[in-house]
Structure 1
């Protein structure tokens, strides 16, 4: 009976969100469905959003409706998750509070007029918040996707990109010593964007995660969070409980034979991890299967991405391009895709290669990323004998 009720409620929720999408008044819908909405859960909202996307509602439109969803369901959503201090969600929430406070402080200082010695320090703190989004995008989101929660992470990532752009604008204005009125406008926009985004994560994304992710998985997530690092707004991160002993399939202990020799698994892994490039392998089904642990990795990679669809490893605005490249690799019409970008004082060269077997059958795609800053500056020659 409870399963039937749940199914009926999901269908009703789907109709509510569809009617919101069609432009109906949220207040009228709230009155019509008040009994149903009294105890709606964040997980149910997440599931209905996924169904709407499958029905053809663009994620961009769904993102614009999130604020309407929040207003409609605010009375039924929990006040926020309660978790122990070591918990990844607790750390994210603490960072939310700190980032929101920093944006508000910048806004208030700019509104007050005059130059403040606080502004450069606040800008520096905000600039050092990228790890917050990397932990969500590269660790938390993959775990949610494994449990079937796909749309809220995709929408949140789109909002992350908006935040990154607004944050960069505010920091640039502070560094340039821009007029206070202009800074106040931009800081207010960042503050409001933070407030809206953090509310969505705190009221929908995080409670959904707590409902589906297991205790052991949370401990693994925390371990992977630690590897990426934290923002200045995570005041003191307490130690986490140890991950329970896990049964892992034992690999081959003998050597792996190749056409031109053989290597032990330990040797093979060490070779990959000591390459002067970052490599990531995506299999023929577009899922991440492996990445090396290069000592100076350029882009963050977490074990949580193994098994993840590569499309979910990129911002939504890039997915169409990723799919086109993969389709061309699979069709055999393309043998390389290459890009180069500036990251601070580094020039980063990114190349993608189709991996095919001896018969030309597509096995997957290899991503190779390299810092070529020093290579670009090479001139003349340096021979082996010059080392003597």
Structure 2
């Protein structure tokens, strides 16, 4: 995660060689920089006189061999020490490409050993930064979008590994594809968002589900943007995953409660209706009895007339209705008025509109009201 571009201002040198893993990592080909660095003439290398293992610190050979020979790992990235022509070990970054058709492995080394003190400073700084990143509760990662549109994970902090249902140790031992971890129903939207980001360079801000185990997933807020392009001109994204499962559960619960409330209000006895406090003339919910008293169906009320109750109020009652519900004092909790409405069958009906102000947990207010025919027995009772 640490960007060391400025720190590596000193000269770096690229060395390349090809080794045969089945022949004790014998170097079978190399460029001139590698030959000069290790002090072995190219003719000797062609004769198989050099093994890569002879250039490594003995204590680290087994671990390096294990990483280079790992199955299903076409690319391997690691840092190690390699011995130069003066028998000094130099710290290098290594990129290895395994040939799937044979036992050959092409290795490129970036020599940063010319400044050992600076290399140590960089490593210590990187470890410190990565430790701090691991302490971040959100999931931080880097991933590359390759030419097949696969999302290859390059780095993940501890929180991100937890979201992915793995550990840092397991993550470092095998390649991870983030697109395989995205819930199937969300993959299309994720690919589309990545495609837009690649085309426009704009950041990604979306929600998706990440599979943690076979039959379980978490909801994540997914923020990402292009950090750089690699040598293959493939974009590398930095990303943040934030677990929003608890918020989603609360939202789903609220949606279920709202759905239950709407169904209840629609079927409650009496011409019941609701409006917002800020817009008392626009209906949000009406009961079955409300449609009966006006003669209009729900689709007519909401689709045709947009829920505007003033479409049904007689012209000579408009001022009365507006006066009753505009500039309502904060101290009032119940408001009522009478006015005439035009029913669908053309009847001029005098109604009694009584509303109660209800306040939600978030401070928003709404009206819940009852519309009564003033000539009916219910009104006089």
Q: TM range, normalised to the smaller chain? A: under 0.3
- What TM-score, normalized by structure 1, do the two folds share? 0.26
- What TM-score, normalized by structure 2, do the two folds share? 0.27
Structure ID, larger Rg: 2
Which is richer in helix? 1
